[in-house]
Structures are given as C-alpha cells and as structure tokens.
Amino acid sequence: MTTQTATGLPSRKLAMWTFIGSECILFGSLIITYLVYRGRSVVGPYPDELLNIPFITVTTFVLLMSSLMMVLALAAVQHGDLKWAKVWLLLTAAFGVIFLAGQAYEFTHFYHEGLGLSTNLFGGSFFLLTGFHGAHVAVGVIWLMSLFGMAVGGRLTSADAETVEVAGLYWHFVDVVWIVLFTVIYLLV
C-alpha cells in the first residue's frame, strides 16, 4: 500500500481519531445515563456514603502521570532511543495497572459495603460507567505491553513511531475520559 495519502495524514491516525469520535458518543451516553439516575436510587448505599475522593484523587494522578510517560515513550521512539522507549512504555503500562488496581480495590470495598450491580441505580450506573472505562484502560495496558514486548524483541524501531503514536492517542483519550468521569462522579456528588 502506498504510504502517501490524499491528506498527508497517516491512515491509522485518521482511523484512531474517528474511532475516538465514536467513543465520545459511547461515553457520552453512559455519562448521561449516570447523570439521569443521579439521586434517583430508592435504597442506599448512596454515593456520598461511599465515594472516597482522596483515594481516587491519587489514582487519578497516577493515570495522568501515565499520559506523561506515554509522551516520553513516543518521543524516545521518534528519536530512535529504544532503551528509554522500553522504560517509558513499561512505566506507562505500570501506571495503568496501578490505576486498575485502585479501581479493583474500590470495587471490592464498595461491594463489601453492600453496593452491588443490582442494589440500586447508583450501583448499576456507577459500576457500568467506571467498568467500561476500566475495560478501556485494560485494553490500553495490553496494547502497551504488546508494544513493550515488540521493543524487547527488537521489533520496534523509530520507523514504527506511528504505531506508538496511535496507541498514545488512544491512551490519552482514555485518560481524558477519566478526568470527565472523575468530575462527574466524584466532584459533583
């Protein structure tokens, strides 16, 4: 296939941007569902009894830092600095894993406090919204680890900067979504 395109924009990047547009509607619909049902649970536990804002602020910070790592990873790949690319890719994925671990802790904690999927509307809409996001983070982690694996195997070179960039676009988008969720779920209690 020719690499030159009519717009000059790499096709995979354009595809990722379009996909992100689609994902915006997906998360938008989920967020609207959460907002519509805010305060409509007929039994507890209610959000203000459960949400631990300081804890989530820490994991949010970790996720934001992972975006920074991603930027550094891409820059390293672009400069052909594969040693540091490996480090940054691994760190990005690791920060993602820390975020997921925080989410796992939060979910089990809520569950022990009596909040399940079927407890009330808050339970269903909270778990579904954050779970959807968590699944996106998990996919991102797998993707990053695959890139890391390629780098370790010597199959990632500066010619593959575009591959890393597309993964980076996805990763940044998932982080931005979390900022919105953090605001909607935790700050608007």
Partner 1 sequence: MNQTLAARSPEVGASQTESTHSLYGGGLWSWITTVDHKRIGVLYGVSALFFLLVGGLEALLIRLQLASPNNTLIGPDLYNQLFTMHATTMVFLAIMPLSAAFFNFIVPLQIGARDVAFPRLNAFSFWAFLLGGLFMNASFFFGGAPDAGWFGYANLTSTQYSPGVRVDFWILGLAVLGISSIVAALNFIVTIINLRAPGMRFMRMPLFTWMTLITSFLLVLAFPAITVGLVLLLFDRNFGTLFFNPAAGGDVLLWQHLFWIFGHPEVYILLLPSLGIVSEVIPTFSRKPLFGYPFVVFSGMLIAFMGFGVWAHHMFSVGLGPIGNSVFSAATMLIAIPTGVKIFNWIATLWGGTIRFRTPLYFAVGFVSMFIIGGLSGVMHASAPSDLQQTDTYFIVAHIHYVLFGGVAFGLFAGIYYWFPKVTGRLMSETLGKIHFWLMLISFNVTFFPQHFLGLGGMPRRVFTYSEGMGFDTLNLVSTVGSLFMGLAMIVFVINMVRSLRKGAPAGADPWEAPTLEWSIPSPPVHYNYQAIPTVNSRDPLWHEGGVSLPDADGEPHMPDPSFYPFVLALGVVTLAIGALTTLAVVFVGLLLVLIGVYGWAFEPGEH
Residue 124 or 134 with smaller CB distance to partner 1: 124
CA 139 from chain center: how many Å? 9
| Alpha helices (H) along the chain | 11-36, 47-50, 53-78, 82-112, 121-152, 161-181
Residue 38, Ramachandran bin (φ over 0: left; ψ between -120 and 50: alpha; else beta): beta
List residues near partner 1 by CB under 8 A: 1-2, 5-7, 9, 11, 14-15, 18-19, 21-23, 25-26, 28-30, 33, 36-37, 40-42, 116-118, 120-121, 123-125, 128, 132, 146, 160, 163
CB of residue 131 vs partner 1: minimum separation in angstroms? Answer: 10
Residue 42 or 112 with smaller CB distance to partner 1: 42
- What are the distances in angstroms from CA 68 to CA 40, 65, 74, 165? 38, 5, 10, 13
Residue 95 or 148 with smaller CB distance to partner 1: 148
CB of residue 5 vs partner 1: minimum separation in angstroms? Answer: 4
